[in-house]
């Protein structure tokens, strides 16, 4: 029979590593299983911004203190050292597809002149963050197992058993599912059957040099469209934390058999209205990702499995929200074992916290507006976005991003009625449709892991 751990954690990303560190430091026996061979090597496209500094996010008012070199989470009540590279950015600029108009979230010039205290946030090294969390977990006595691909789950009596593709079995009183956005463990628990599927996101990113951006210390976000399908093509350019002249350039969107996002990225660089931004393009590293879009898990706990981070949320909980989940899950398990209540009642503090800080704090359908708002098509989108001429509040919160943009557009409703009455008719019709109907095209070309 395998050794029975207090907790077995599946996934060694921010949620899993934080859970392992906290559980180990508080005296629990912990096994941490990671599918990859190298935990700290970042293979997936990831913007790695500190999300977010400018607003409450998942109920937390987090920030990076560059003087003390700590990531601070005052509401949750912890901080972490971070002495790795980082780069400030000061605004978020959305560009129409013809490169003729910018929607400005925050005044780049004013914020940059005021310095770090006025920044929107920072980009940083996820590798560096994970490296420190891993070292802390190992120091706390956590058994770290890499190359462990969990494919099976069963509950027998009061113990949970996990089996891997490599033939190993691990037993735990509790399990933490921290295996990411396409969580296999959440699927094995049957929870995806109670979630709504909204499509599959795909993307490709380059770390590049040779750019000449008009606003290099901002997020530059051109809003493009695929010519054949009219699917939105999301472009994201931000300063890399690693080198002064390096940038992270991402292209992605909903999956569709007619769309190659690498081709779209190369076309964006070489022959789009934005190609003057790339006078001497040199690709240093390429990454990619695939992520399903689900509504949140209906519950964060089942059969003594606590669900943490991206595994139970819509698209992603960010590194920040994931670490909060890992910490809270580990402390809840420590409390349950101390109280001799290895049950749902024993870890109810985690369930209460998760509901308060995730589904009750954030309406996931507002995040989906980032995709559905572009379904008006390229011509109409460009017309509407060009109506937004004021500098809008500086925000990195994706749940609030289009609220300000939409409010600015709606303030011009009389002008729209006079110039483009068909858009008013379309907007009125769309406003009555549920989000699932609005995204039905994305759903049909996605591939859910139910």
Q: Is the pLDDT of residue 432 over 80?
A: yes
Choosing from 342, 357, 372, the residue where a domain stops is 357
Domain co-membership, 77 together with 223: no
Domain co-membership, 388 together with 376: yes
Q: Is the pLDDT of residue 216 over 80?
A: yes
Kindly indicate the confidence band of residue 376, based on its pLDDT and cuts at 50, 70 and 90.
Answer: confident
Domain co-membership, 10 together with 47: yes
Domain co-membership, 102 together with 204: yes
Beta carbons of 103 and 384 less than 8 angstroms apart: no
Q: How many independent structural domains does the chain possess?
A: 2
Task: Give the tokens for residue 413.
Answer: 């409703």
Kindly indicate the confidence band of residue 155, based on its pLDDT and cuts at 50, 70 and 90.
Answer: very high
Kindly indicate the confidence band of residue 368, based on its pLDDT and cuts at 50, 70 and 90.
Answer: confident
Beta carbons of 224 and 96 less than 8 angstroms apart: no
381: CATH: 3.30.9.10
Determine the pLDDT at residue 374: 61
Domain co-membership, 63 together with 142: yes
Q: Is the pLDDT of residue 6 over 70?
A: yes
Give the predicted TM-score (pTM) of the model: 0.96
Picking from 445, 385, 384, 395, the residue whose alpha carbon sits closest to that of residue 417 is 384
Choosing from 357, 372, 404, the residue where a domain stops is 357
Beta carbons of 201 and 236 less than 8 angstroms apart: no
pLDDT by residue (tens digit) across 405-427? 989 999 999 999 999 999 999 88
Domain co-membership, 148 together with 77: yes
Domain co-membership, 251 together with 332: no
Average pLDDT over residues 132-136: 99
Beta carbons of 54 and 397 less than 8 angstroms apart: yes
Domain co-membership, 50 together with 150: yes
Choosing from 357, 377, 394, the residue where a domain stops is 357
Domain co-membership, 170 together with 282: no
Kindly indicate the confidence band of residue 205, based on its pLDDT and cuts at 50, 70 and 90.
Answer: very high
pLDDT by residue (tens digit) across 239-296? 999 999 999 999 999 999 999 999 999 999 999 999 999 999 999 999 999 999 999 9
Domain co-membership, 56 together with 27: yes
Determine the pLDDT at residue 144: 99
pLDDT by residue (tens digit) across 302-333? 999 999 999 999 989 999 999 999 999 999 99
Q: Which residue has the higher pLDDT, 216 or 365?
A: 216
The torsion angles phi and psi of 267, rounded to 5 degrees, stand at -70, -40
Task: Output the CA–CA distances (angstroms, integers) from residue 57 to 120, 256, 408, in the order listed.
Answer: 14, 31, 23
Q: Is the pLDDT of residue 373 over 70?
A: no
Determine the pLDDT at residue 431: 79
39: CATH: 3.50.50.60
Domain co-membership, 62 together with 134: yes
Determine the pLDDT at residue 367: 86
Domain that holds residue 336: 4-82+125-195+297-357
Domain co-membership, 288 together with 376: yes
Q: Is the pLDDT of residue 394 over 90?
A: no
Look over the chain and give the mean of its residue pLDDT values, rounded to a whole number. 95
β-partners of residue 102 are 95
Rounded Cα distance between 171 and 1, Å, is 9
């Amino acid at each position: 029979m395998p050794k029975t751990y207090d907790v077995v954690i599946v996934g060694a990303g921010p949620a899993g590593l934080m859970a392992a560190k906290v559980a180990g430091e508080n005296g629990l026996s912990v096994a941490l299983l990671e599918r990859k061979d190298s935990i700290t090597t970042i293979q997936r496209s990831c913007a790695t911004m500190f999300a977010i500094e400018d607003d409450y996010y998942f109920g937390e008012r987090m920030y990076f203190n560059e003087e003390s070199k700590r990531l601070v989470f005052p509401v949750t009540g912890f901080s972490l050292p971070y002495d790795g590279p980082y780069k400030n950015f000061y605004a978020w600029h959305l560009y129409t597809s013809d490169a003729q108009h910018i929607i400005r979230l925050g005044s780049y010039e004013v914020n940059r002149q005021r310095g770090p205290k006025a920044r929107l946030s920072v980009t940083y090294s996820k590798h560096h963050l994970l490296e420190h969390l891993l070292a802390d977990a190992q120091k706390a006595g956590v058994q770290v197992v890499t190359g462990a691909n969990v494919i099976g789950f069963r509950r027998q009596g009061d113990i949970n058993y996990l089996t891997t593709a490599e033939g190993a079995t691990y037993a735990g009183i509790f399990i933490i599912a921290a295996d990411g956005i396409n969580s296999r463990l959440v699927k094995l628990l049957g929870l995806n059957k109670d979630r709504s599927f909204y499509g599959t996101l795909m993307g490709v990113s380059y770390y590049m040099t040779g750019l000449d951006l008009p606003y290099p210390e901002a997020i530059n976000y051109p809003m493009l469209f695929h010519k054949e399908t009219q699917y939105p093509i999301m472009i994201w350019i931000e300063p890399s934390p690693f080198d002064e002249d390096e940038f992270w350039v991402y292209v992605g969107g909903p999956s569709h058999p007619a769309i190659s996002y690498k081709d779209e990225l190369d076309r964006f660089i070489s022959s789009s209205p934005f190609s003057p931004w790339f006078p001497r393009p040199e690709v240093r590293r390429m990454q990619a990702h695939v992520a399903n879009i689900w509504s949140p898990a209906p519950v964060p706990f089942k059969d003594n499995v606590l669900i943490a981070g991206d595994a139970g949320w819509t698209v992603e909980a960010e590194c920040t929200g994931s670490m909060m989940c890992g910490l809270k899950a580990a402390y809840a398990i420590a409390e349950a074992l101390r109280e001799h209540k290895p049950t749902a009642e024993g870890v109810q503090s985690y369930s209460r916290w998760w509901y308060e800080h995730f589904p009750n704090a954030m309406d996931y359908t507002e995040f989906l507006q980032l995709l559905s708002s572009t379904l008006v098509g390229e011509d109409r989108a460009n017309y509407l976005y060009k109506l937004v001429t004021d500098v809008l509040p500086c925000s990195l919160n994706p749940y609030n991003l289009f609220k300000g943009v939409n409010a600015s557009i709606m303030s011009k409703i009389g002008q729209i009625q006079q110039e483009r009455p068909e858009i008013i008719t379309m907007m009125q019709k769309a406003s009555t449709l549920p989000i699932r109907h609005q995204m039905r095209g994305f759903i049909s070309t996605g591939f859910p892991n139910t």
